[in-house]
Amino acid sequence: MRATHWLGAIRTVHDRRREVRPWLRAEFLPWLSTGLVAARRGLALSITSQLGCYPLVILSVVSLPLLPLGVGIFTLPIISVAVRNLADLHRRFAGEWCSIAIATPYRPHKDENFEPLDLPSSLRRSRSLLADPATWRDLLWMTINIPFGLVAGLLPGWMIVYGIHGVVATPLFWPWMDDTYGYALTWPVHSPYTAVLAFFQGLVFLFFGFWSGTRLLRLHSRFTYKLLAPTEKTRLSLRIAQLTETRSEAVDAQAAELRRIERDLHDGAQARLVAVGLKLGLADQVFRKDPETAYRLLTDARKASGQALVELRDLVRGIHPPVLAERGLDGAIRALALDLPIPVEVDIVLPGRPQAPVESAGYFAVAEALTNVVKHSGATSAWVRLRHTNGKLSMTVGDSGKGGAVFQAAGGLHGLQRRLATFDGTLELNSPVGGPTAVTMELPCVL
């Protein structure tokens, strides 16, 4: 009976161990790993809050009284660059660590060609910085972040180290400790009883160290969001400025497109139709006297009318391709890829069709990107990928060319970016020297 009892107890313990192991792998070990990562990130947070915020607050406070003397006019714009870079770093921390996206609240500067040592340029930049509310919010954030970032960053790591010391070092080495040595917060460790208390206190510190790391980081990210995110007024001002700019660009693009259509009609189809009319008039005059000449003129007029019809079809295709209306964006891009002189791999997964304006804008964006590939990249192959995720139409055009593509003020990529901005679209370029090149374009839309 006793043997059976012990065998049952052993089996029970073994079964419990088998139940605990999956829990350790699935929950406990990831919880420990998350706590250690949070403690490491907290250390980086505390370092940036001291080595970054502390000197910049002092320099900013010193520069403001020096503005009337003229010295601050030169130092304030330079310091503001460092302040905004530090703020952008913490915005990135909040996004990567806690998934809290923080947009940039700064107003665009009217004087883009800033010269640090030029007095008029520095004066204009200083006025712009002082009139921007985000400048003062950055200063307030840095001032509060000096103590808050230090505490929120170091506290989890300190509790973990303090807990490990209490769990491991104090129970083992308390006999060799001095009587006045005080590990615990309220008692010195000088006996087995106090060592046991220190052990359990260490476990408590370890638990709260691992538990509080991610929570303190999230709390700091929310604090950062409150001060570094755009206010509602700033967001509206930035949105109005963006809409004003995109409206102006849309008007310019529309005017340029109308001029192109007018030029194509004037130099192409219109000229050929005028020639057709002249040849028909001449044929009518010489028909009775010289039928052969009239027949030749009629033949030339028929050829000219055919060429005019081809040019009109090309012009219409450039305004809105019929294949786009008939087969949608998927079929239109596949047809476009077949007409190129290099092989193009097309990968399109769209469960529906975008609105007609977005569909047209997406088609011409891909068409222009592929045209740039053929003209400038020297590629032997290209690929197109279209997806619709999170309410956005994502279009990526890549090639196997030489790479090194850059944005230029009057270049095709810059013009394409401006046209996409009319639809609140974005364009990202990844083109290292040596290739490959990938152009990713996104357009907000619903299917």
Instruction: Return the bridge partners of 398, or none.
Output: 383, 438
Q: Taking the CA atoms of 412, 414, 418 and 420 in sequence, report the sign of the dihedral they define.
A: positive
- Domain 328-444: give its CATH code: 3.30.565.10
Which value, to the nearest 10 degrees, does the dihedral of the CA atoms of residues 140, 142, 143, 147 take?
A: 140
- End-to-end CA separation in angstroms for the chain: 73
- Taking the alpha carbons of 135, 139, 144, 145 in that order, is the dihedral positive or negative? positive
Alpha-carbon distance 108 to 111, whole Å?
9
Enumerate the H helices of 373-447 as residue ranges: 412-421
pLDDT tens, residue order, the chain (447 aa):
445 554 455 555 445 555 545 544 556 677 778 888 888 999 999 999 888 888 888 888 888 888 787 777 888 888 888 898 999 999 999 888 888 888 888 877 666 666 666 777 777 888 888 888 888 999 999 999 999 999 999 999 889 888 887 787 776 666 665 555 555 555 666 677 777 777 888 888 888 988 988 899 999 999 999 988 887 776 676 666 666 666 666 566 666 666 666 666 666 666 777 776 776 677 777 767 777 777 777 777 777 777 767 766 666 665 666 777 778 888 888 888 888 888 888 888 888 888 877 888 888 888 888 888 888 777 788 888 988 888 888 888 888 888 777 777 666 677 777 777 777 788 888 878 877 888 888 888 777
Record the pTM: 0.59
Q: Can you give the residue ranges of every domain in the chain?
A: 30-228, 233-319, 328-444
Q: How far is CA 412 from the centre of its chain?
A: 21
φ/ψ of 426, rounded to 5, equals -130, 160
Nearest to 70 by CA among 128, 124, 123: 123
